[in-house]
Structure 1
Amino acid sequence: MQSGLSFGSALKTLRRTLGISQLALAAQLSSTQRHLSFLETGRSKPTVGFLRRLCSELNLSAAQRSALFEASGLRNPYSQRSLSSTEITEALDMIERRILQNWPFPAFALDRDWTVLRMNPRAARLFASFGFDVSNAAPSLLTVILSPAFRARIHNWQEASLGLYFRLQSAAGRDPAIAAAFARARQEGIFDHIPALITGQHQAPVFTALEIGPSAGPMLRMTPFVGQLATLQDVRLDGLEIEFMVPLDDASEDFLADLQ
C-alpha cells in the first residue's frame, strides 16, 4: 500500500491483497460487515482498538502495519527510518559482523528491492570474478542476475532460472520495484522457456544447482540459502533477506572458501 491513501482505501487494498471478503474479515475481527463497509467508505473512522485487532489478528508485515497507521491519522509506531539512520546502520553492522563475516562462503544481505546492503569479502570477490565492481555503490542483485553478461556465465540457465522465476513472482506481489523488473524481464522474453520447462520435466529435482563459470577458476556448482531475522519490526528493513551461497562439490567449496 502507498502512503497518502485514506484509511478506507488502505483497508480495502489490504483486504483485497489478502484475498479476504468484508464478511470474513469482520468475523475474524469480531466486528460486523456494516462496520467494515463504513470504514472503507469513510463514513466511520478507525479507533486504536480496531487497529490493534486488525494488526494482531492478521499476519501483516511491518510495512502493511505502517501503512494502516499512517492512513488512520493516529500515531504511527512503524514510521520509516532512513537507511543512513543510526539505528539502521547499527542493525546492518550487526548483521555483517555477527552473521555474514562468520559464513565461510559468499553471503550478503538484501533489502526488499534486492539491493545488496551488506556483504562479506568473499561475496565482493565473487562479484568481481564475474566482472561486476561493487566497491563504490550498493549493487542491485536483480540487475546483476538479469544482465546478459551474468546470464551468459550460467551454463544451465534454463534449468536454474526456474527457481529464480518463482522467487521473483512471489517477491513481485510484495514489492513494486521487483514487480516492475519482473514484468520487464518477461516482456524481454527472458523467461519464455519456463512454461515448457515446468511441463517437460520427467521428475523435478530436490533443488537445482546453479552452474556458473567465473572468468578464472573451476565451474562452480552452488545454490543460495535464504534466511531472515525472525524479530524484524522495522519498515525500512521489512523484507530483508540474508543470502548464503552454498557450494555443492569440493572444487566449488575450495574456490569459494579461498575468496579472501
Structure 2
Amino acid sequence: MDAADRPSGGRLLREWRRRRNLSQLELASGAAVSARHLSFIETGRARPSREMVLHLADRLDVPLRERNRLLLAAGHAPLFGEHGLDDAEMAAVRDALDRFLAAHDPYPALVVDRHWDLVRANGALGLLTAGADPALLAPPANALRVALHPDGMAPRIVNLAEWSGHLLHRLRRQHAVTGDTRLRDLHDELATYPGVDAGDDRGAGTADPAAILLPLRLRHPDGELSLLSTVTVFGTALDVTLSELTVEAFYPADDATARILRDHSTRR
C-alpha cells in the first residue's frame, strides 16, 4: 500500500467511533474534548498528539494491536510491544499458562490466540477431539473449526445447533470489538457447515431461554459428557500477544461426566 493510500489517524479514529455506534458529540462528551476539535482530528485538519490518540482509543475500547496502528497512522511510534509466546520475555506467562493447564487436568482446557488458533492445551482435551480428522488437528489447529467441522467434533455434539449458535455469537461479538476481517471470514465459513445454527445477536441460537448455563453435550463410548465452560483473559496485559490470548476451561456439569473424565485421565 502506498503512503498516499494509507488511512490517516483521524480516519481510523472515525472508523472506530462508528464501529462503536457513537456520534462525534457522544465521543467528545465522554472523552472531555470539544466536538470541534474531534471533528478537526477526524477530517485531518488537526494532527492528534500521542496522548490524544491513546485517550480516544481508550474511550473507544480499541484493542492494543489497533492502538499501535492508530499511533503509526497519526505519525507516532507504537507503544505496545508484541512478543512471541516462546520469547524469553514471556517466560512468566508460559509458566502461568502451563501451571493452570496442568492443575485443571483431568478437565479439558485450552489456550487460543485472537483467531482461535490453538496455542496450548492439556492432555484432557484429547477426550473432546477424539475421532476428529488429524488434518484438522495439525498445527495451527483452529479450535472453532475443529469443533464445528463435519470431520471434527460436530458429529459427536448432541446439541450442535445450540452450541454452534453460542460459538458463532461469540465470534460475531469478537469481530465487532476488534474489526478483524479474519474473524468475519471464519464466521462465514463456519456458518456453512452442516447442522450449524448461526443464531442471532440476542444469544445462542435455539438454546433454552430458561436454562442457567449452556453445556457442551458430547457423545462418548462411556456415556454422554455434559461440560460447562469458563473464559479467562489477562486483564492487565500491556503486550499485544498477551492481550489476545484466551483460556477456555471446561468443567463437568454432572457426576457422570466427572467420573468419565477421571477415568480417562488414569488411562492416559
TM norm. shorter chain > 0.5: yes
Aligned to 1:209: 215
The answer (yes or no) to whether the contact 2:110–2:249 under 8 Å persists in 1 is: yes
**Shift in CA distance, 191/243, structure 1 to aligned 2, threshold 3 Å:** same
The answer (yes or no) to whether the contact 1:29–1:57 under 8 Å persists in 2 is: yes
Give 1:65's match in structure 2, choosing from 64, 67, 70. Answer: 67
**Shift in CA distance, 254/60, structure 1 to aligned 2, threshold 3 Å:** same
Q: Which runs of 5+ in 2 are unaligned?
A: none
Aligned to 1:226: 231
SS, match of residue 245 in structure 1? strand
Give the distance between the partners of 2:116 and 2:38, measured in 1 at CA.
35
Paired residues, number? 254
In the alignment, is residue 141 of structure 1 matched against residue 143 of structure 2?
yes
| Alignment-mate amino acid for residue 132 of structure 2 | G
The answer (yes or no) to whether the contact 1:109–1:118 under 8 Å persists in 2 is: yes
| Alignment-mate amino acid for residue 51 of structure 2 | G
Give the distance between the partners of 2:22 and 2:206, measured in 1 at CA.
35
Aligned to 1:254: 259
The answer (yes or no) to whether the contact 2:8–2:73 under 8 Å persists in 1 is: yes
Percent identity of equivalent pairs: 27
Q: Which runs of 5+ in 1 are unaligned?
A: none
Give 2:31's match in structure 1, choosing from 12, 29, 32. Answer: 29
Match runs of 1:1-260 below 5 Å: 4-88=6-90, 90-104=91-105, 105-123=107-125, 125-127=126-128, 129-133=130-134, 137-149=139-151, 150-173=153-176, 174=178, 175-187=180-192, 190-192=195-197, 194=199, 203-214=209-220, 216-257=221-262, 258-259=264-265, 260=268
Deviation at 1:13, TM superposition (A): 1.1
RMSD (Å), alpha carbons: 2.9
Say which structure, 1 or 2, has more relative contact order (CA 8 Å, 6+ apart): 1
The answer (yes or no) to whether the contact 2:159–2:217 under 8 Å persists in 1 is: yes
Return the TM-score normalized by structure 1: 0.84
The answer (yes or no) to whether the contact 1:66–1:235 under 8 Å persists in 2 is: no
